[in-house]
Amino acid sequence: MQNFTGVGVSPGRIIGSVRQMPKPISEPPAGERLTAATTPEAATAELRTASKVVQTELQRRAEAATGASKSVLEATALMATDPMLIKAAVKLIVTGTSAERAIWESGASVAEMLHNLGGYMAERATDVLDVRARIVAELRGVTAPGIPQSDEPFVLVAEDLAPADTATLDPNKVLALVTSGGGPQSHTAIIARALGLPAVVAAVGVDALTDGTEVYVDGAAGTLQVDPGDEQRTAVTAWEHVAASLSVFDGTGTTADGHLVPLLANVGGAADAVKAAAAGAEGVGLLRTEFCFLERDTEPTIDEQVVAYRGVFDAFPGKKVVVRTLDAGADKPLPFLTDSTEPNPSLGVRGYRTDLTSPGVLKRQLTAIATAAAASTAVVWVMAPMIATVDEAADFAAMCRVAGLKTPGVMVEVPSAALRSASILTEAEFVSLGTNDLTQYTMAADRQLGTLAALNSPWQPAVLQLIQLTVAGSIAEGHNKPVGVCGEAAADPVLAVVLVGLGVNTLSMTARSMSAVGAVLKSVTLERARELAQIAVSARNSDEARTRVRAELPILEELGL
Amino acid sequence: MSERKATIASRVGLHARPASIFAAAVGELPLEVTISLETDPAEDAMDASSILSLMSLGAANGDVVVLRAEGDGADAALDSLVKILETDLDAE
């Protein structure tokens, strides 16, 4: 039996057959010529046929899509046969260049032109490159890039998934996600947890599996086995029983000895909020407001924003809802706010910093939040992302007060904010740790890079120590100002225990994780959680921290987590 | 040669959805239609059926563009295209 080991990022055990994500289309070699048997006229005709086929396929997908993705697909379909793209390619074919190479070069120059125009156009450059890859795939007679189509549900195996792929992923067709690249905080991991799909990332070698191979995936252990036997089938059945019992959260996050740790939900809109409330969430610990802004060319009006926020507040009457102000930039660019030509967007004008370059957007957003809050009974807190200094925290708090928002807080994602939390908390009423960015900035490791998956773990003792320092800052400040966690770390039931032991007051996560986190938390006393936190912080590295804490929690084995 | 001027009515300018709708409408005509900004010389005019050309034109809300076409039915065709440009397509 062949085994592969990676990092388990979303629990669950299933058996299913593999479908590989098609390989990215390789670049046709520079200088590739038409074969002797092919005339330029024949190659031109082939190119036109291929581009028409791609257009028809994209139009078909546009018809099935709705909203913003529909209009993007419609525009992309038009690009496939666009005279500017095709004419430039035909000119190259006439000089003897192969059709594949010709469309490749033509697409590159069009994409560069759009990129140079900046903003919204620069984002469309990606669409041109996607169209180009599809045309080359059609010319070569290979599968087009994108999530495979299949009638039977399958285990999706890929190098890594991009946000665009995950948006088209049908959770009824995909049983589990396994990637050879990606890290514990990559998009693959985030989407898998949100959809409740078992997932393993950074499993080197899985790209060699052939389509149709039957495999067993354990998303907690981080393993994949080829040709599963009776032992694995039993494990799947056992998991199905556990999953049924784990699907319910009773609505109170607490340790075994009654120390309350409210479990809150991370939501990205009203539909999410309604689901989270039904799943027992004690409030919202992170409302991502980007949902109002993404896929738009211009800023939404205050009235539009008020309606959108009201939808979330009304799902939690009398409960806490923490709103994060717009967090654009880096992996979430917005045409009217962020500069896509920055050489290093993660360290660029993103989050709260966009107020420097586009003043007014944040002020209007705070007005909209305050208006929506005044009309609802939800207890609305507001926090800014990417705060690095006490002055920024003070400025943000002042803006909130002007808007009439009484509980301003900040995210702790930049190590400087963790180190200076005592001073920051003299200005802010609370802090919330964004562990995904805090980890990438502490370890100087890009979240999306599979090769750096080990560095990019929130189990890194350095990250845990920064969390400990943030809590110590709150104690030093002296007014019991709350420290929460709203990153992916809170969704890991084992790490959640460690966070509580470090002194974190609330945990906010994707609603699906609340039952597992609640069950494990309930099995330990606060004193025990503190001991486990100490073990984790004093570990030599992230693996040791995780392994040693897991070994102290027998309930994990029982629950298959 | 027929010629018409049109003021871009779409709030986002002539890209995204408005550009798709306009390029598709030009593509259905049996004529070659060019488009240029009013401020640009006629020889810089681009193929109006190309969404990529339209996007690179960068016509914003309120900009005036010039449409040109030759042949039978050019006048009627251009009139219909002006109507498309002078409607806020993004609002629909």
Residues of A in contact with B23 (CB under 8 A): 78
| pLDDT per residue as tens digits for the range A473-517 | 999 999 999 999 998 899 999 999 999 999 999 999 998 889 989
CATH of domain A40-140: 1.10.274.10
Q: What is the mean pLDDT of residues A96-104?
A: 96
The enclosing H or E element of A132 equals helix A119-140
Contact status of A75 with chain B (Cβ, < 8 Å): yes
* Highest mean pLDDT out of A125-129, A336-340, A536-540: A536-540
Q: Work out the percent of chain A whose per-residue pLDDT is above 90.
A: 67
Averaged pLDDT, A263-279? 92
pLDDT of residue A81: 93
State how many domains chain B has.
1
Higher pLDDT pick, A195 / A201:
A201
What does the pLDDT average to over B5-28? 87
The average pLDDT across A458-475 equals: 97
Instruction: Kindly tell me the sign of the dihedral angle through the C-alpha atoms of A64, A162, A30, A140.
Output: negative
In chain B, residues with a C-beta closer than 8 Å to the C-beta of A79 are 51-52
Looking at every residue in chain A, the average pLDDT score rounds to 91
The three state secondary structure string of chain B is: CEEEEEECCCCCCCCHHHHHHHHHHHHCCCCCEEEEECCCCHHHCEECCCHHHHHHHCCCCCCEEEEEECCCCHHHHHHHHHHHHCCCHHHC
Question: Is the Cβ pair A83, B23 closer than 8 Å?
Answer: no
Contact A197, A12 (CB under 8 A): yes
Told to judge if A292 belongs to the known catalytic residues of this protein, a careful annotator would answer no
* pLDDT tops 60 at residue B92: no
Class of domain A249-559: alpha beta
Helix (H) or strand (E) holding A484: strand A483-485
Could you tell me the pLDDT band of residue A163, with boundaries at 50, 70 and 90?
A: low
Per-residue pLDDT at A370 = 97
Nearest to A135 by CA among A77, A71, A64, A72: A77
Give the span between the Cα atoms of B7 and B81, in whole angstroms.
11
Per the structure, the complete domain to which residue B19 belongs is given by 2-91
pLDDT score of B91: 60
Cα(A79)–Cα(A507) distance, integer angstroms: 46
Q: CB within 8 A of A116, min separation 6: which ones? A: A122
Cα separation of A165 and A158, whole Å? 11
pLDDT over 70 (residue B11): yes
pLDDT tens digits for range A289-313:
987 887 677 889 999 999 999 999 9
Question: Rg of chain A's alpha carbons, rounded to an integer?
Answer: 25
Given an 8 Å threshold on Cβ–Cβ distance, is B56 in contact with A121?
yes
**Domain CATH code at residue B10:** 3.30.1340.10
Cβ distance A283 to A548 under 8 Å?
no
Mean per-residue pLDDT for A256-277? Answer: 94
Q: Which residue has the tokens 């957003």?
A: A365
Nearest to A82 among B16, B50, B58 (CB): B50
Mean of pLDDT values over A191-197: 82
User: What pLDDT is stored for residue A167 in this prediction?
Assistant: 62
One-letter-per-residue 3-state SS of A309-344 = HHHHHCCCCCCEEEEECCCCECCECCCCCCCCCCCC
Q: What percent of chain A has pLDDT over 70?
A: 97
User: Strand locations in A101-197, DSSP E?
Assistant: 154-158, 174-179
- Is A110 close to B52, i.e. CB distance below 8 A? yes
Q: Which CATH class is domain A3-21+147-244?
A: alpha beta
Do A84 and B58 count as a contact with CB atoms less than 8 A apart? no
What's residue A214's pLDDT?
A: 96
Structure tokens at A512: 């699906």
Per-domain residue ranges of chain A:
3-21+147-244, 40-140, 249-559
DSSP 3-state assignment of A176?
Answer: strand
Residue A256 has pLDDT above 70, yes or no: yes
Alpha-helical runs (H) found in A339-482: 354-357, 361-374, 390-403, 415-419, 421-427, 435-443, 461-477
* A75 with B47: Cβ contact below 8 A: no
Q: How many Å apart are CA A277 and CA A271, to the nearest integer?
A: 10
> Considering B6, B15, B25, B51, which one is annotated as catalytic?
B15
Tell me which residue in B12, B47, B58 faces A297 most closely, judged by beta carbons.
Answer: B12
Nearest CA in chain A to B25: A78
Model confidence at A94: pLDDT above 60: yes
What is the tens place of the pLDDT at every residue in B65-83?
Answer: 999 999 889 999 999 999 9
Does A66 or A175 have the greater pLDDT score?
Answer: A175
Element (DSSP H or E) covering residue A430: strand A430-433
Per-residue pLDDT at A472: 98
Contacts of A309 (CB under 8 A, 6+ apart): A287, A289, A292, A323, A368, A369, A372, A373
Gap between the Cα atoms of A411 and A336, Å rounded: 23
Closest CA to A413 of A386, A379, A392: A386
Q: How far is residue A342's CA from residue A331's CA, in Å, rounded to a whole number? A: 12
What tokens appear for A96 in the block? 């003897």
pLDDT of amino acid A149? 75
